[in-house]
Amino acid sequence: MKIILNIVILLLSIMGFSQITVLGKVVDKKNIPISGVNIFIEGTYDGATSTENGDFIFETSAKGNQVLVLSLMAFETLKINIDVTNYQNKTIVLKQSINMLDAVVISAGTFRAGDHSKITALKAMDIYTTAGSNANIVAAMQTLPGTQKVGEDGRLFVRGGEADETQTYVDGIRVSQPYNASVSNLPTRNRFSPNLFSNMSFSTGGYSAEYGFALSSVLLMNSINEPADDVTNIGIMTLGLGIGKTSKFKKSSLSFDVSYINLAPYQLVVPQKTDWNKPVQAISGQSVYRYKCNKGLFKLYVTYDHTSLDLNQEDINYTNKIRFDLHNDNFYINSSYKGEVSDRLQIQTGLSFGYNKNTIGIVSDKLNNTERDFHYKLKFRESFSNYFKLNFGTEIFNTHFDESYTATTHSAINYGYKNIQTALFTEAEIMFSPKVALNLGVRGSNASVVDKFVVEPRISFGYKMAKNSQFSVAYGTFNQTAKQDYLKFDPHLDYEKASHYILNYMYNTNGKMLRVETYFKDYFNLIKYDSNKATYNSTYNNDGFGYAKGLDIFWKDSKTIKNLEYAISYSYIDSKRNYKNYTQQVTPSFVATNSVSVVTKYWIESLKSQLGLTYSYSSGRPYNDPNTNNFMAEKTKSYTDLSLGWAYILRPQKIIYISISNLLNTNAIYGYQYANAKNSNNIYESQAITPPANRFFFVGFFWTISTNKKTNQLKDL
C-alpha cells in the first residue's frame, strides 16, 4: 500500500510540474478593468474569472497552440489563438455587445408590424381589429402616415407614387400579383390571409439594397416560423365562409386557410349603386408547410384563388351601360430556406412561381391575358462581429406576359413581352457603438427589355441621442422598368428612376411612440404617351419627371389610459408630375395634400368587448375639367370616414365581430369622368366616380378550437 501511495504522489508531482500558468488582464476600450469575465481554454475545464482589477490567473496542462475564450454578458464573446507556453501578462480588450435592448435602430422610412419588433407601429392582430380594415392588410397599412387612400382603387399608394411603384414580398421572395382582380373604379384588396403571417415591414422609402425594381416602397411579409399550438379557426360572415387549421408535428407543422366569398346575399340586404349581373364570387386557399432542419428552417407557401364577376358599368361616352365579365385564376408557390452555414455565416434562399390568367368580356369584345413569373434569390449574411455584418447575394426575375384583344370589328391583336431581370447586392451593417449605426449598400441590376446595367447606392445612418430618442437619415436611388400597362405595348422603354432623401426622428418608450419624418423624392424618366389612354397604337417615351416632398407624423399610445390604445397619423405632401399624357407638371389625381387617420381600440371588461373606431380624413384630390382652361386645377370635396368595429366574446374562444364603415353617411366622390366630346351646349358632360355604396356592413362569427384557451381572446391582443 505504501508503494502505491508513493507512485500516486510521484504522478501528481509530475503533473504539477507540467502545469503552465496563464495570466493577464481584461479591460474595455477605455482601459477600464472588467470583472466577472469567464476565461478558459476551449475544450478543457481550465480557466478562471477576472477579479475587480480585471486580472486573471490559472494553470493548465494544455500545451502548444490553444483557443482562449473570454465571455461576459453585455460584451462580445472573444476567442483568441494563443501559445500557452508564452502567454503571460497580456492585456485583452473586450468590446461591448451591440445585442442590447437600448441599441440604436435605423428607422428612416420603415414601419414594422409584429410583436417582436423594437419599433412596432402595428401589432400583427391590428390587421383584424382596426375598424374599417376588415382583415385587409393593405387597408390597415393605409392608416399609417405616408400612404394615400385611393378609394376607387384599393391598392397601396406611397408618398406620391403610383400603386405599381410598391412591391410585395413573402419570406423575402417577390409576389408579382398581390391583389385580387377587379375592374375600373371598383376597389380591390390584397390576396393574403393575416392568419399565416407573424410580422410585416412596410417601407415608405429609402429601403435596403436587398430589394429593387420598386420606385417607392416595399411591403415585406414573413409567414409564421413556428406556430404556438394546434388550432382550428372557423369564420361565418355576411360575405361568406372561412376555415383555417394549423397542426404541429415533431419537426414540422402545416397551416392552411380556405375561404369562399359571395356578395350576392349581402347585396340583397344592402342596396348597391353598381348594376350587377353576377356579384363578386371568390374561392381561395392558402397553405404554409414548415420543416425544421438541423441548422435552419424550410418553408413552402402555396396559394390559389379564383374570382369572377359580371356587371354593367356606366360610361359618360355611351348611352348604354358597358358590360364587364371577368374571370381570374391566380396561383402562387414560394419555397424558402434560412439557416446557418457556420457560426458566423447564414444563408437565405428561395424560389417562387406565379401564374395569373384573366378572361375579360367587354360587351362583345374579348380581352385575355396570362402572366408567368419566376423569382430566385440567394443571400448570405456574414457576422464578422456584433459591430460589423455583411449581407450579399444575387437574384433573378423572369416575367412572361401575353395579351390578346379581339373585337367584333377586327381580328385578334396580340402583344406582350418577356423580361429577365438580374441583380447583385451587398450591404454592410456597421455599429460604431450602441448609439451610432451605419448601413452602406449598393445594388447592381439589369433588365433584358432595357438591356442596361444600373447601379443603385443606398445609405442610412442612425444616432441615438438619449435613452428613448434617436434620429435617422437615409438616401438611395431606385430604378424600375415601365409598368405592365405600357411595357406590353412598347417592350423597349427605359427605366423609370427615383432618388429618396429622408430625415427621421423617433421617440420610443414603453407603450408610446412618436415618429416625425420629412422626405424628398425626385423622379426621372417617367413614361409619357401621346393619346387619351395608353393603347397599342400610342407612342411612348421616357420624358416624364416629377417630385414629392412632405412631412409624416405618427403618435401611438397604449399606456396613458387603461384599456385604451390609440394611434394618430398625419401626412402632408406636395407632389407634382409631368407624365402620361399630361401637358404640364401638376399634382396627379391620386394625391391628397393633407391626410389624417385616428385609430382607437378600447377594451370594456364588463362587456367582454373590444370597441374600435377609425377616423380618416383626406383633403380634396385634383381632377381635370376640360371645360376650363387650367389643366388638373379642380379638386373634389374632402373625404371623411368614421368606421366602427365591435368584437364581443360570446363564450371562451367564440367571438362575434361587427363592423360598419362611414357611420356619418357622407357622400364620397373620388373624381369625375368627362365625355370625350362636347354636347350640343358646347360642354363636356361629366359623371362622378363614387363607391358602390355609402356604407359597408360586416358581421362575423369566429370560433377558435384549441387546447390553449387564451387563443383568440381579445383582451390579450
Asked whether 711 and 229 are in contact (CB, 8 A), the reply is yes
Report pLDDT for 4. Answer: 43
Spatial separation of the C-alpha atoms in residues 671 and 677, rounded to whole Å = 19
pLDDT of residue 712: 56
In contact, 195 and 711? CB cutoff 8 Å: no
CATH of the domain at 139: 2.40.170
Q: Is residue 102 part of a domain?
A: no
Domain that holds residue 60: 21-93
Residue 627 lies in a domain: no
Closest to 349 in 3D by CA, of 369, 375, 372? 375
Beta bridge partners of residue 520, listed in sequence order: 501, 549
Looking at the 3D structure of the chain, how many domains does it have? 2
CA-closest candidate to residue 642, choices 610, 657, 664, 620: 664
Print the SS3 string covering 53-117: CCEEEEEECCCCEEEEEEECCCECCEEEEEEHHHCCCEEEECCECCCCCCCCCCCCCEEEECCCC
Q: 536-565, pLDDT tens digit by residue?
A: 899 999 999 999 999 999 999 989 999 999
Residues 544, 472: one domain?
yes
Q: Do residue 85 and residue 207 come from a single domain?
A: no
Q: Quick one: cell of 700?
A: 362575423
Task: Kindly write down the DSSP assignment for every residue of 574-600, as one continuous string.
Answer: EEEEE-BT-SS-B--TT--SEEEEEEE
Identify whether residues 35 and 128 lie together within a single domain. Answer: no
**281 in a domain, yes or no?**
yes
Same domain assignment for residues 196 and 49: no
Q: Are residues 77 and 185 in the same domain?
A: no
CA-to-CA distance for 632 and 626, rounded, in angstroms? 9
Integer Cα distance of 222 and 348 in angstroms:
13
Residues 295 and 423 in one domain: yes
Chain centroid to CA 204: 10
In a domain, 182, yes or no: yes
153 and 31 belong to one structural domain: no
Backbone angles phi, psi at 716, to 5 degrees: -90, 0
**Euclidean distance between CA atoms 235 and 459, whole angstroms:** 45
Sign of the dihedral defined by the CA atoms of residues 233, 171, 287, 179, in that order: positive
The CATH code of the domain that includes 57 is 2.60.40.1120
**SS3 label, residue 14:** helix
Q: How many other C-beta atoms lie within 10 A of the C-beta of residue 36? A: 12
Residues pairing with 485 in the sheet: none
Count CB-CB contacts under 10 A for residue 14.
9
User: Is 708 a member of any domain?
Assistant: no
Asked if residue 544 and residue 416 are part of one domain, the reply reads: yes
* pLDDT of res. 106: 64
pLDDT for the residue numbered 64: 85
* Residue ranges of the chain whose pLDDT lies below 70: 1-18, 98-109, 111-125, 709-717
Check whether residue 89 and residue 118 sit in a common domain. no
Do 85 and 161 reside in the same domain of the chain? no
Note the pTM of the prediction, 2 decimals: 0.85
pLDDT of residue 590: 96
CA torsion 668→671→673→674, rounded to 10°? 120
**Contact in structure between 336 and 347 (CB atoms under 8 Å):** no
Strand-pair category, 231-237 with 697-705: antiparallel
pLDDT at 433: 85
Report the C-alpha gap between 572 and 6 in whole angstroms. 90
Residues 414 and 339 in one domain: yes
Q: What values do phi and psi take at 567, rounded to 5? A: -140, 140
Asked whether residue 557 is assigned to any structural domain, the reply reads no
Asked whether residue 675 is assigned to any structural domain, the reply reads: no
Q: Does the residue 682 lie in any domain? A: no
Asked whether residue 155 falls in the same domain as residue 118, the answer is yes
**pLDDT value of residue 480:** 96
CA nearest to 459, candidates 209, 649, 148: 209
